[in-house]
Chain A
Amino acid sequence: MKIDEGDGKIVCTLEGHFDTLQSQELEEALKARLKTPQAVVFEMQDVTYVCSAFLRLCVFVAKIVGTGRFTLLGVTPPIKRVFKMAGMSDLFDRE
């Protein structure tokens, strides 16, 4: 997990099996940085699994920074399917 901050934007490059522990770590790291208005990007290309804590974290981030300012990038089909099934696909701008 890598977090870069600059130009009013936080970019989190995530990878691998994103379980509860990883989600908590990311949440802690973001809580210290998040302010409104601020854009947040999760780079998801190398993420192979997301747990429910990660979905909750996404909702939390979207709520803090505003839906339009939260972006998931490089989502792979298996993860995209998770967001579709969870009914959360409209929450995020994904490219």
Chain B
Amino acid sequence: METTITEFADQILGRAAQAGAVFAELGQAETDRIVDAVHIAAFNHRVHLARLANEETGMGRWQDKVLKNVVASQLVYEDIKDLKTAGVVSEDFASGITEIAQPVGPILAVIPVTNPTSTVIFKVLISLKARNPIIVCPSGKAKRCCAEAARICYEAALAAGAPDDCIQWLNDTSREQTQALMSHKGLALILATGGTGLVKSAYSSGTPTLGVGAGNVPVFIDASADIPFAVSQIFRSKLFDYGTICSSEQAIVVEAAIAQAVRGEFERQGAYFLPPEEIVKLEAVAFDAVKCVMKPDIVGQPAAMIARKAGIAAPANVQILVAPLAGVGEKYPLSAEILAPILAFYVEHSFTDAVNRCIDLNFYGGIGHTVSLYANNEARIKEFALLMNAGRIVVNTPSSQGAVGGMFNRLSPSFTLGCGTGGKNITTDNVTARHLVNIQRVARRRDNQRLARFDTALYLDESLDADAIEQIYNRNY
């Protein structure tokens, strides 16, 4: 007899509930042993999983996907290994408050096609660290590599003493089945990494969701920056997995005074600047004007291939396609997010105009995500940062790797980058294990001495204003 959608969700969440109940019995040491074992297994399969992901999705470079798997296993592990996530995690006798970490419960992990195996490894590690069972729900275009990553993690977890079904993975789920899982009463949390539609669907399910927002990362190269270094870092980032990371650079903004030097350096390092007629050709292959989004078939593809497809006369060894633009918005399709080695390029008269342009880009589809700045002027770095709406303002750093954290800064390594309320998320943090525990606080009686000494009947006297009450309230003799 065929399983109904409700039965399908009940079965999966039923198993997850049992796994969660057993998992909650484990202490910190047992949990850490499991996480250690899983990170080693994932690390040891980093190349195998990267090749699988590349073959199945046809996106990016397998060599870069290896590095993503390393970040998801080695760097994530280093970041979370000492975190207390089980039982009493802090105790302060002065305040009388004891904090106890409890697992949140079964987590549904939605996995994007752009970073499939790395996101599986990452979400499995942070979920297990917090003693939560996890259900891996991959993009339909990456289900085989995600299943393999989940299987490798699961076998290692079981061998290290984790409960049965602590990791489950889905193969061919329909939209209705995914929605049934998302809205199932037994599901505690959704880790939603993916496109806007998917994240919105997760939020609409009624289950608490840690989601992400879309990016549109402007890069301002200030006159105080080391230009050859800045350009080399942008190449390093934009070419990483051919631009599939949502924190990759989307537009370069410079002042006129250094524009020629920046352009020259870009060309020297392998960029091709498009004349206006070729910008139109590139727009046609890179951007879906009806849906107002990038076309999926150019995501994570090399620049030379995109150039050929568009009929652009770029050199065969071109690394990045650069489109000089005059504005931001619907009239300029390449000013939107495109996860491929394509950059918009803006030349502005002054620092003020350049910052204004970055604000326009930041607010055009990338609110709350990431902005990038190359500068050696601390005052300008702060001024710029204060005016942006971004969870991460990365300085003198390749933004793909910089926003993910762990490689070029001390941000928590993460494949789920919170974008704050601007990106419709609850946090601007790089989501990690500490977001996957419920903290219970034991609050012992510690009288507020000022209130205890204060005659609360005075509150009833309307002739006493705030100043008068404050004076009496704060008397300490």
| Interface positions of A (Cβ within 8 A of B) | 75-78, 80-81, 84-85, 89
Are B363 and A77 within 8 A (Cβ)?
A: no
B442: interface (CB < 8 Å): no
List, in ascending order, chain A residues with CB within 8 A of B387's CB.
77-78, 81
Q: Which residues of A contact B355 (CB under 8 A)?
A: 77
- 10 additional contacts (CB under 8 A) given A77-B355, A78-B387: A76-B352, A76-B356, A77-B352, A77-B356, A77-B387, A81-B387, A81-B389, A84-B359, A84-B389, A89-B363
Interface size of B by CB at 8 A reads 7
CB within 8 Å of A: which residues of B? Answer: 352, 355-356, 359, 363, 387, 389
Within 8 Å CB of A76, what residues of B?
Answer: 352, 356
Tell me, in angstroms, the Cα distance from A64 to B458 when the chains sit together: 54
Contacts of A78 in B (CB 8 A): 387
Chain B residue nearest to A90 (CB atoms) is B329
- Provide the residues of chain A in CB contact with B359, threshold 8 Å: 77, 80-81, 84
Distance, CA A76 to CA B386, complexed state (A): 13
State in angstroms the CA–CA spacing of A65 and B356 once bound together. Answer: 26
Q: Which 9 A-B pairs have the closest CB atoms?
A: A77-B355, A77-B387, A84-B363, A80-B356, A80-B359, A81-B387, A77-B356, A76-B352, A81-B359
In whole angstroms, what is the CA distance A84 to B389 when docked?
Answer: 10
CB-defined contacts of A84 to chain B, threshold 8 Å: 359, 363, 389
Distance from A11 Cβ to chain B, minimum over Cβ atoms (Å): 20
Q: How long is the Cα–Cα vector from A78 to B389 in the complex, in angstroms?
A: 12
A42–B359 Cα gap in the complex (Å)?
A: 20
Residue of B nearest to A77 (CB): B355
By a CB distance below 8 angstroms, the chain B residues around A89 are: 363
A89 to B389 Cα, complex, angstroms:
15
Question: Chain A residue with minimal CB distance to B367?
Answer: A84
Chain A neighbourhood of B363, CB < 8 A: 84, 89
Q: How far is the CB of A81 from chain B (nearest CB, A)?
A: 5
Shortest CB distance B216–A (Å): 13
Give the complex CA separation of A89 and B356 in angstroms: 12
Residue of B nearest to A74 (CB): B352
Q: Please, how many angstroms separate the alpha-carbon atoms of A76 and B350 in the complex? A: 11
In the complex, what's the smallest C-beta–C-beta distance from B252 to chain A, in angstroms? 18
Closest residue of chain A to B363 (Cβ to Cβ) is A84
CB neighbours of A81 from chain B (8 A): 359, 387, 389
Nearest Cβ on chain B to A24's Cβ, whole angstroms: 28
Q: How far is the CB of A50 from chain B (nearest CB, A)?
A: 15
With both beta carbons as reference points, the residue of chain A lying nearest to B422 in the complex is identified as A85
Alpha-carbon distance between A85 and B389 when the two chains are bound, in angstroms:
9
Least distance between B114 CB and chain A CB atoms (Å) = 28
Smallest beta-carbon distance B167→chain A, Å: 42
User: B206: shortest Cβ distance to chain A, in Å?
Assistant: 27
Q: Kindly list chain B residues whose C-beta atoms are within 8 Å of the C-beta of A85.
A: 389
* Complex CA–CA separation, A80 to B359 (angstroms): 8
CB distance from A83 to the nearest CB of B (A): 10
- Which A residues are CB-close (under 8 A) to B356? 75-77, 80
Complex CA–CA separation, A48 to B151 (angstroms): 58
Query: What is the CA–CA distance of A85 and B387 in the complex, to the nearest angstrom?
Result: 11
A81 to B422, CA, bound (A): 13
For this complex, 17 residue pairs linking A to B, each with C-beta atoms less than 8 Å apart, are A75-B356, A76-B352, A76-B356, A77-B352, A77-B355, A77-B356, A77-B359, A77-B387, A80-B356, A80-B359, A81-B359, A81-B387, A81-B389, A84-B359, A84-B363, A85-B389, A89-B363
| Across-interface contacts of A75 in B (CB, < 8 A) | 356
Which residue of chain B lies nearest to A89 when distances are taken between CB atoms in the complex?
A: B363
Least Cβ distance of A61 to chain B in Å?
21
- State A77–B351 Cα separation when bound (angstroms): 10
- In the bound assembly, the distance between CA atoms of A75 and B363 in angstroms comes to 16
Q: A26–B184 Cα gap in the complex (Å)? A: 57
- Smallest CB–CB gap between B389 and chain A, Å? 8
**Nearest chain B CB to A52's CB is how many angstroms away?**
20
Q: Which residues of A contact B352 (CB under 8 A)?
A: 76-77
Chain B CB within 10 Å, residue with most, of A75, A76, A77, A80: A77
> Chain B's nearest CB lies how many Å from the CB of A76?
6
Q: Give Cα A88 to B431, complex, Å.
A: 32
**In the assembled complex, how far is the CB of residue B300 from the closest CB belonging to chain A, in whole angstroms?**
31
Cβ of A67 to closest chain B Cβ, rounded Å: 15
Nearest CB in chain A to that of B354: its residue: A77
In whole angstroms, how far apart are the Cα atoms of A75 and B350 in the complex?
13
CA distance A4 to B464 in the complex (A): 53
Smallest Cβ-Cβ distance to A78: which chain B residue? B387
Docked pose: A23 CA to B387 CA in angstroms: 24
How many Å from the CB of A70 to the closest CB on chain B?
A: 18
CB distance from B267 to the nearest CB of A (A): 29
